[in-house]
Amino acid sequence: MKTQEETPMYDITLTEMLKEVFLHNKQMQDFMSMQKEKLDEKDRIIETGKKQTERLINSFEAKFSNIQVQAPKPDLSMVNQTLASSLFTINQTIEKGPKPVTKQIRFQIFPEQMRSPEYYKIMVWGVLGFVFLIMVYLLLNKLIK
């Protein structure tokens, strides 16, 4: 149980309580309506901004749709000069290049690559043997006839 001293602090009548609730409710409704007005104002500002943005974009497109960029004609004289000098250098290099190879058929008894005495001995005996065979053939040919 509550004592006499504590009772006055907690003794609030129902009417006062309802008044406070209604007052608080009215304040909330005022606050909510004010917030709604602010939101509506912001929505109008945003809509106005969108319309302005669309107008700016349309004017930008209208301004820059007619712009034509014309590039200057390139100066190719340096390129042509470089190509001409390079072609001249290539032609000179081709003229200085190797000449066509001529084919020669040569029969050498003593080739240049072989310089050994054994090779010369074999060749001398080979030639003497060939001459001897020719002589034998001629003699036999006379005897047979």
Q: What is the mean pLDDT of residues 6-34?
A: 82
Q: For all residues of the chain together, what is the average pLDDT? A: 83
How many folded domains does the chain comprise? Answer: 1
Mean pLDDT score, 104-126: 77
pTM above 0.85, yes or no: no
SS3 114: coil
d(C-alpha 55, C-alpha 63), whole Å: 12
Q: What local confidence, expressed as pLDDT, does residue 109 receive?
A: 67
**pLDDT given at position 117:** 78
* Residue 29 belongs to a domain: yes
Q: Answer yes or no: is 113 within a domain.
A: no
pLDDT tens column, 39-58: 999 888 888 888 888 888 88
Residue 72 within a domain: no
- In angstroms, the CA 87 to CA 82 distance is 9
Q: Do the domain assignments include residue 59?
A: yes
Instruction: Determine, yes or no, domain membership for 19.
Output: yes
The contacts of residue 123 (CB under 8 Å, 6+ apart) are 109, 110
Look up the domain containing 40 and give its range.
8-64
